[in-house]
């Protein structure tokens, strides 16, 4: 019994360990982050397991379909008869959910993955490679290593080299054109058809081999099969019957083709020229191409059907691309329209857009979901653009208004906002600018305030400059007045002993004195006093110099020394050139005072010595009992030999002391006789003076005492 005649085995029972699904990795390793744009599945479903309702592809992504001619060709060339037997043990079936599995009629074993016996050499090489190719939910291809659990967007080097090797082998096998073991078109057409969803997944995930797409490879294989397949009798009869009823065969002798491959290419061009759609049936296509001579050149119906099916596949892809491009262009046109339309703004609602643009083709050419997405993007971009434009406009208006305010000389730091507004309305540059007229008042006020602050700053700077200039001028005036004082000092008119009253007539006649009047700071009188004080502060140092000069000259100031004599001695020395005349005068006065003091001390000492000698002489007179009746001539003879007489050498002094002694003796005698009378008189005088010494009470004391007395009632008064 042929295995193909047996019924498909039952679907694997519950509890049967499902093999891993081909085309999907078993799951991500710990810490794996899905590639960008790949959305994770619903909660609770591991990565790699699709959500419920998702149709798994029935084959490994990137593998050729089972019905492709290359699979049978490579298997028969490599395995021979032994591989054919093992291959026949496996049958392909479809599960109720649409997935394809494989059943071994000998071992009674079911597999989700394609058995090695059914794999081509290229499939075996790809299955041995640890890198597998998958597609994310967004359609982007990524690569996963089942051993290291690594995922990447770029194709690994080893997988790229393996695909290049397979492409090279496929190219060499196509050149040989093996035709012995290929399946007939009838067998190909009788194979199990691939579901639409599975077919689309397989097409979208099949990687290009050797730089060619899967569609181009399928077309090339189909053309090769047509060129090498012998026609069957039934197909020839069917085609001849159909050709007998077709008109327009009179020019078929004019057409000639080198081989069947060129004939198939011409037939495909015919379908393309007639613009046969991808969803057209064979009967519909016959109505379009049946009258063309190229149709009758291909004799076998199976060959025509093969080219037609390949054309439909290619045309379907082209239509999908065209549809995608049209949809893309429609989206771009709608987005550009919304971004450039004068009626569109960022605050416009979607329903308002529908009412405004719903009658336009640019709006109707895009589906509602895409329209909403484009609308949201356009609103976002418009809001961003409007914000930027408003910001730029605000910046421009503020800059322009600031320039206008700078050019208006009548505005100063005391100008108010109300006054400035009226001035702006009178300015043509402001009135003729529509943007400035519509400018936000708050922004305009900010610009005005900044301008006023700048003017105030300039005013302060100008005041500061004026203040510095005034101070600088005042300092120059003081310096000039100081030079005037220096000139007077050099001329000898101003010394440390000079007085303002003495020099005022000279100073006031100079313009440098007049320039000092009215300015702040030190007055001319202050500067004069400071100058004199400075000269006086030099007195001690200059006095030392003068003393050194006098010491070197051996000159000493006496009481009788004049200033001219003193100045003459001092000026003879070169060091006197730096001396102040006033300090020289002060030094002279100081030295003269010292000389006078010394003279006074000498006189006092002489007087004290004289008094001592006179006292000794008086004592001598007392010893000789001299009274007021004695004569000097008598007494002198007695005293001339005494020491006290000789020490008082001047005779006039002796006579004077003698007379004074006699007078004292006479006064002492008279005082003794009148003492009692004087005592009584003194007592009376003392009593009288005591009574007079009592001073009257002061008015303040009287007022205080009056407050202590009791007041009389008003009635008594």
Read off the pLDDT of residues 576-620 as tens digits, 9 standing for 90 and up. Answer: 777 777 778 788 888 888 888 888 888 888 888 888 887 887 888
Q: State the number of CA atoms in the 13 A half-sphere of 360 facing the CB.
A: 14
Q: pLDDT tens digits for 96-150?
A: 777 788 888 888 788 877 887 787 777 777 777 888 888 777 777 888 888 887 8
Cα 292 to Cα 287: distance, rounded to the nearest angstrom? 10
Mean pLDDT, rounded, for 479-484: 93
Q: pLDDT tens digits for 487-522?
A: 998 888 888 888 999 999 999 999 999 998 988 888
Q: pLDDT tens digits for 279-332?
A: 888 888 888 888 888 888 778 888 888 888 998 898 889 888 988 998 899 989
Task: Assess whether pLDDT exceeds 60 at residue 454.
Answer: yes
Q: Fill in the DSSP letter of residue 433.
A: -
Cα 458 to Cα 44: distance, rounded to the nearest angstrom? 73
* Mean pLDDT estimate for the chain: 72
Contact status, residue 483 vs residue 454, Cβ threshold 8 Å: no
Could you tell me the pLDDT band of residue 682, with boundaries at 50, 70 and 90? low
Contact status, residue 624 vs residue 631, Cβ threshold 8 Å: no
Task: Assess whether pLDDT exceeds 70 at residue 704.
Answer: no
Question: Nearest 10 degrees: CA dihedral of 161, 167, 171, 177?
Answer: 130
Mean pLDDT, rounded, for 83-107: 77
Cα 638 to Cα 652: distance, rounded to the nearest angstrom? 17
Cα 546 to Cα 88: distance, rounded to the nearest angstrom? 145
pLDDT at residue 217 in the model: 54
Cα 701 to Cα 695: distance, rounded to the nearest angstrom? 12
DSSP-based three-state secondary structure for 19: coil
Q: Which of 452-456, 677-681, 688-692, 698-702 is predicted least confidently?
A: 698-702
pLDDT at residue 75 in the model: 44
pLDDT at residue 478 in the model: 92
Cα 159 to Cα 316: distance, rounded to the nearest angstrom? 30
Cβ-defined contacts of 257-260 (< 8 Å, 24+) = 257/297, 259/227, 260/223, 260/226, 260/227, 260/303
Cα 499 to Cα 482: distance, rounded to the nearest angstrom? 16
How far does the chain reach from its first CA to its final CA, in angstroms?
A: 171
Query: Side by side, which strands form the sheet with 100-104?
Result: 90-94, 100-104, 109-111
Q: Which of 182-196, 538-552, 695-709 is predicted least confidently?
A: 182-196
Q: Please state whether 53 falls in left (phi above 0), alpha (psi between -120 and 50) or beta.
A: left
Q: Which of 153-162, 319-328, 353-362 is predicted least confidently?
A: 153-162
Task: Assess whether pLDDT exceeds 90 at residue 41.
Answer: no
Cα 116 to Cα 130: distance, rounded to the nearest angstrom? 16
Residues near 350 by beta carbon (within 8 Å), at least 6 away in sequence: 372, 375
pLDDT at residue 459 in the model: 92
Contact status, residue 310 vs residue 268, Cβ threshold 8 Å: yes
Could you tell me the pLDDT band of residue 464, with boundaries at 50, 70 and 90? very high
Could you tell me the pLDDT band of residue 3, with boundaries at 50, 70 and 90? very low
Could you tell me the pLDDT band of residue 692, with boundaries at 50, 70 and 90? very low
Query: Side by side, which strands form the sheet with 131-135?
Result: 131-135, 141-145, 151-152
Mean pLDDT, rounded, for 209-218: 45
Contact status, residue 385 vs residue 424, Cβ threshold 8 Å: no
Q: How far is CA 352 from the centre of its chain?
A: 43
Task: Tell me what percent of the residues of the chain surpass a pLDDT of 90.
Answer: 16
pLDDT at residue 79 in the model: 47
Query: 135 pairs with which residues across the strands?
Result: 141
Mean pLDDT, rounded, for 72-90: 56
| Angle between the N-to-C axes of helices 441-490 and 368-407, in degrees from 0 to 180, rounded to the nearest 10 | 30
Q: Which residue has the higher pLDDT, 539 or 520?
A: 520
Task: Assess whether pLDDT exceeds 90 at residue 214.
Answer: no
Cα 430 to Cα 362: distance, rounded to the nearest angstrom? 43
Q: Fill in the DSSP letter of residue 136.
A: -
Task: Tell me what percent of the residues of the chain surpass a pLDDT of 70.
Answer: 69
Question: Nearest 10 degrees: CA dihedral of 631, 634, 639, 645?
Answer: 50
Contact status, residue 309 vs residue 286, Cβ threshold 8 Å: no
- Pair of tokens at residue 518: 């009215």
Neighbours of 349 (CB within 10 A): 10
Angle at 377 between CA 375 and CA 378, to 5 degrees: 60
Could you tell me the pLDDT band of residue 674, with boundaries at 50, 70 and 90? low
pLDDT at residue 713 in the model: 43
Neighbours of 454 (CB within 10 A): 14
Total-model pTM = 0.37
pLDDT at residue 221 in the model: 53
Q: Fill in the DSSP letter of residue 143.
A: E
- Pair of tokens at residue 256: 């000639």
């Amino acid at each position: 019994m042929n295995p193909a005649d047996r019924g498909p085995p039952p679907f694997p029972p519950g509890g049967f360990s499902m093999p891993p699904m081909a085309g999907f990795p078993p799951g991500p390793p710990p810490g794996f982050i899905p590639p960008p744009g790949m959305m994770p599945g619903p909660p609770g479903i591991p990565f790699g397991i699709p959500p419920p309702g998702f149709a798994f592809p029935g084959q490994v992504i990137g593998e050729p379909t089972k019905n492709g001619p290359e699979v049978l060709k490579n298997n028969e060339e490599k395995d021979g008869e032994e591989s054919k037997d093992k291959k026949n043990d496996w049958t392909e079936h479809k599960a109720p959910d649409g997935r394809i599995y494989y059943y071994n009629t000998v071992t009674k074993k079911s597999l989700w993955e394609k058995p090695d016996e059914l794999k081509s050499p290229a499939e075996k090489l790809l299955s041995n490679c640890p890198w597998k190719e998958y597609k994310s939910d967004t359609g982007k291809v990524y690569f996963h290593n089942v051993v290291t659990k690594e995922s990447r967007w770029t194709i690994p080097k080893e997988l790229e080299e393996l695909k290049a090797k397979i492409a090279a082998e496929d190219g060499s096998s196509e050149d040989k054109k093996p035709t012995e073991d290929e399946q007939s078109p009838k067998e190909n057409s009788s194979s199990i058809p691939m579901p639409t969803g599975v077919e689309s997944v397989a097409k979208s995930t099949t990687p290009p081999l050797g730089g060619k797409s899967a569609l181009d490879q399928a077309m090339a294989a189909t053309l090769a099969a047509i060129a090498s397949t012998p026609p069957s009798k039934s197909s020839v009869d069917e085609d001849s019957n159909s050709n007998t009823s077709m008109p327009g065969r009179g020019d078929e002798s004019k057409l000639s083709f080198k081989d069947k491959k060129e004939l198939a290419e011409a037939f495909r061009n015919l379908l393309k020229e007639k613009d046969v759609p991808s969803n057209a049936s064979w009967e519909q296509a016959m109505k379009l191409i049946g009258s063309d001579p190229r149709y009758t050149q291909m004799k076998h119906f199976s060959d025509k059907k093969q080219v037609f099916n390949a054309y439909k596949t290619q045309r379907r892809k082209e239509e999908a691309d065209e549809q995608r491009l049209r949809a893309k262009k429609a989206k771009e046109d709608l987005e550009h329209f919304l971004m450039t339309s004068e009626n569109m703004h960022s605050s416009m609602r979607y329903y308002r857009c529908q009412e405004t643009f719903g009658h336009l083709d640019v709006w109707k050419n895009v589906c509602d979901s895409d329209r909403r997405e484009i609308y949201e993007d356009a609103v976002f971009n418009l809001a961003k653009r409007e914000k930027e434009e408003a910001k730029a406009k605000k910046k421009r208006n503020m800059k322009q208004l600031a320039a206008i305010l700078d050019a208006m000389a009548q505005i100063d730091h005391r100008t108010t906002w109300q006054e400035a507004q009226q001035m702006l309305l009178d300015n043509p540059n402001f009135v003729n600018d529509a943007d400035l007229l519509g400018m936000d008042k708050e922004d305009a006020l900010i610009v005005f305030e900044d301008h006023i602050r700048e003017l105030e700053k300039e005013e302060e700077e100008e005041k500061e400059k004026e203040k510095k200039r005034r101070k600088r001028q005042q300092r120059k005036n003081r310096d000039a007045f100081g030079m005037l004082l220096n000139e007077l000092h050099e001329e000898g008119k101003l010394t440390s002993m000079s007085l303002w009253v003495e020099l005022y007539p000279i100073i006031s006649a100079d313009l440098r004195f007049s320039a000092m009047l009215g300015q702040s700071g030190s007055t001319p009188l202050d500067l004069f006093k400071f100058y004199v004080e400075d000269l006086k502060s030099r007195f001690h140092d200059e006095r030392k110099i003068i003393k050194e000069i006098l010491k070197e000259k051996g000159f000493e100031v006496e009481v009788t020394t004049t200033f001219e004599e003193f100045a003459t001695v001092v000026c003879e020395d070169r060091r006197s050139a730096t001396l102040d005349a006033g300090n020289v005068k002060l030094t002279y006065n100081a030295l003269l005072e010292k000389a006078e003091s010394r003279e006074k001390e000498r006189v006092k000492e002489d007087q004290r010595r004289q008094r001592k000698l006179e006292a000794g002489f008086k004592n001598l007179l007392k010893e000789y009992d001299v009274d007021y009746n004695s004569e000097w001539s008598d007494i002198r003879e007695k005293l001339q030999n005494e020491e006290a007489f000789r020490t008082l050498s001047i005779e006039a002094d002796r006579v004077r002391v003698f007379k004074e002694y006699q007078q004292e003796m006479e006064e002492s005698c008279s005082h003794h006789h009148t003492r009692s009378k004087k005592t009584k008189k003194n007592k009376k005088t003392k009593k009288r003076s005591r009574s007079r010494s009592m001073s009257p009470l002061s008015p303040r004391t009287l007022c205080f005492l009056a407050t202590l007395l009791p007041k009389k009632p008003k009635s008594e008064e």
